[in-house]
Amino acid sequence: MDKTIEEKYIKAGEIAKKAKDLAKKELKSGISVLEFVEKIESFIKKEAGLAFPVNISINDFSAHCTPDINDTAIFKEGDLVKVDLGVQVDGYIADTAFSIKLGEKNNVLIKAAEDALKEFIDNISPGKTIEEMSKLVEQVVASYGVKTVKNLAGHSLQQYVQHGGLSIPNTYVKNKYQFKEGDVIAMEIFTTNGEGFVVESSPTNIYMFLKQGALRLDESKKILNRIMQEYKTLPFAKRWLKDLATPVKLNMALKEMVERGVLRDYPPLRERSKGLVAQVEETIIIKDKPIITTI
């Protein structure tokens, strides 16, 4: 990896760590989810760029959850909260997540996820395979008497691409891919006391640009221009576009762009049996001595 690129990954990671520390300090029961997210996003934007909207997934929701415009939800005592945030420097991404169960210090789902991620970090190096690393994750989580989420995975990172070509599942798979020096991965572990599968839910508040296409609505064209200038091929939140159209016209424009293949939508993911889900994640540059950019 070019040294300049590596430095940008490291810088993004340093900012992400500060944002994560701020989030841990600010996260409390009784506060607005929307205000919390906007505070963390504002902090990141003062230092670098947002790689994606801050995700707040609570209890059996596992991913792709971010507040809507004028969202009124508040954090409640007993909520199992996942905070997933991303920073980008010239498109080079740091992706990190943590979980807290409000009002509870020792949660087995969080502990299982944290220990599995630690074992992954301690054992990853060039030449290791996805097969052996996914097996390690599953074994550590199983030792706590809980399950991994089988249809979620860690992933590689590329410039302006949050989900690169590699997928590193939370459960054992027969994949002989050998990690190479310079691979950059966001390894995330999801644990649950449910069935271990997630399904799509609603409402959708996160989208990502896929390709240019013919658009009919003026609002769609205006929104696409904003996306191309500011977000490029990184995910963005519907609420980031609230200044461009009324809520009704904004929803119509997003629907048109999804239907025409211009945007991809990211519906919230929910554990199928309504089991609780915990998540942890760090960004790793693969080397003989890996660089964990977000720790």
Pair 70, 184 in one domain: yes
- pLDDT at residue 208, as a whole number: 98
CATH code for position 13: 3.90.230.10
Cβ–Cβ < 8 Å for 126, 180: yes
Three-state SS for 173?
coil
Contact 129, 175 (CB under 8 A): yes
Mark whether 129 and 229 lie in a shared domain. Answer: no
Q: 37-84, pLDDT tens digit by residue? A: 999 999 999 999 999 999 999 999 999 999 999 999 999 999 999 999
Same domain, 58 and 185: yes
Q: How many CB atoms lie within 10 A of CB 25?
A: 8
The answer to whether residues 113 and 242 belong to one domain is: no
| Domain match, 137 and 230 both | no
- At position 111, the amino acid (one-letter code) is K
Which range marks the domain in which residue 166 is found? 3-200+269-292
Q: Domains in the chain: how many in total?
A: 2
- How far, in Å, CA of 103 to CA of 96, rounded? 23
Q: Are residues 12 and 100 in the same domain?
A: yes
Q: Do 218 and 177 have their domain in common?
A: no
> pLDDT (tens digit, 9 = 90+) per residue, 220-243?
999 999 999 999 999 999 999 999
Residues counted in the chain:
295
Q: Are residues 96 and 16 in the same domain?
A: yes
d(CA 257, CA 92): 26
The answer to whether residues 212 and 179 belong to one domain is no
pLDDT in the model for residue 1: 87
Kindly report the pTM of this predicted structure.
0.96
Task: Give me the active site residues, please.
Answer: 84, 95, 155, 163, 188, 281
Residues 130 and 25 in one domain: yes
CATH code where residue 218 lies: 1.10.10.10
Q: Which residues of the chain have pLDDT under 50?
A: none
Contact indicator for 271, 192 with CB cutoff of 8 Å: yes
Same domain as 275, residue 144: yes
One domain, residues 221 and 127: no
Residue 270 has phi, psi (to 5 degrees) of -125, 140
- pLDDT at site 25: 98
Angstrom distance (rounded) from CA 136 to CA 144: 13
Preceding amide of 203 cis, omega within 30: yes
Q: Are 232 and 160 in contact (CB under 8 A)?
A: yes
Q: How many CB atoms lie within 10 A of CB 160?
A: 17
Place of tokens 């007993």: 78
